[in-house]
Amino acid sequence: MFKYVKHLNYPISITKKDLKMAKNIITQFGGPNGELAASMRYFSQKFNMPDEKGRALLNDIATEELGHMEMVSTIVHQLMKDATIEEIKAAGLDSYYTEHGKGIFPTDANGVPWDAKYFAVTGDPVADIYEDMAAEQKARAVYENLIDLATDPDVLAPLLFLRQREVVHFNRFKELAEYYISKGY
């Protein structure tokens, strides 16, 4: 069972519009290396873990990824708040606006909608955990690219937080993989 805590994992308060940055950051919501794919991957894989240790870890990280989806969505929303139609067009978001207005929709930076093909479930605990480690590294790399593009400290701070959580998740998965290998899985 889930319990929703009505605050973000990291406070977000962005006051400057930046629609081009919003267009890039949305990929961490609905892109192939984003938070939605991570959450669905870990929730799906947890059922085939051979013990409670693995199921609990995947469930915990999947749940945290839901919080990260909320953070990314909040960043995008705040970056687009009060945008005019002219600003939306200038940022190349007119197609997005046509379908979704200023709503948050899971897509990558190119406008490609989220797809379940972004993750795999093999049923093999070690193979799945190694996929999870790779996913965390890819998400970290995307956050680093976004950090390179960001200029607003109010955008940078939550991106740095999210990047660090990817590193933590990678390390937890690495520990679990080593544990399972030592147990002969």
pLDDT in tens, 88-147: 999 999 999 999 999 999 999 999 999 999 999 999 999 999 999 999 999 999 999 999
Q: CA 161, 78, 24: angle at the middle one, nearest 5?
A: 65
Report the CATH number at residue 108. 1.20.1260.10
Residue indicated by tokens 């708040």: 81
The predicted structure's pLDDT at residue 1: 61
pLDDT grade for 42, boundaries at 50, 70 and 90: very high
Look at residue 157 and tell me if it is in a domain: yes
Cβ-Cβ contacts under 8 Å for 135 (sequence gap 6 or more): 33, 37, 38, 41, 119
Backbone CA torsion sign across 29, 31, 37, 38? negative
Q: Is residue 10 one of the residues assigned to a domain?
A: no
Query: Per the domain annotation, does 33 fall within a domain?
Result: yes
Please state the domain count of the chain: 1
For 5-34, the pLDDT digits (tens) are 889 999 999 999 999 999 999 999 999 999
| Residue 3, pLDDT score | 78
Amino acid symbol at 123:
G
Residue 135, sorted as left (phi over 0), alpha (psi -120 to 50) or beta, turns out to be: alpha
48-66 residue pLDDT tens: 999 999 999 999 999 999 9
78 within some domain: yes
> Which tokens hold the place of 89?
């067009």
Residue 144 located in a structural domain: yes
Give CA 39 to chain center in angstroms: 8
Residue 4 counted as domain residue? no
Q: What is the model's pLDDT at position 134?
A: 98
DSSP the chain: -----SS-SS-----S--HHHHHHHTHHHHSTTSHHHHHHHHHHHHTT-SSHHHHHHHHHHHHHHHHHHHHHHHHHHHHHTT--HHHHHHTT-HHHHHHHTT----B-TTSPBP-GGG----S-HHHHHHHHHHHHHHHHHHHHHHHHH---HHHHHHHHHHHHHHHHHHHHHHHHHHHHHHTT-
Q: Which domain holds residue 89?
A: 19-182
Residue 80 pLDDT class (50, 70, 90 cuts): very high
Asked if the structure places residue 113 within a domain, the reply is: yes
Question: What confidence score (pLDDT) does residue 92 get?
Answer: 96
In a domain, residue 68? The reply is yes
CA dihedral 181, 141, 66, 17 (to 10 degrees): 170
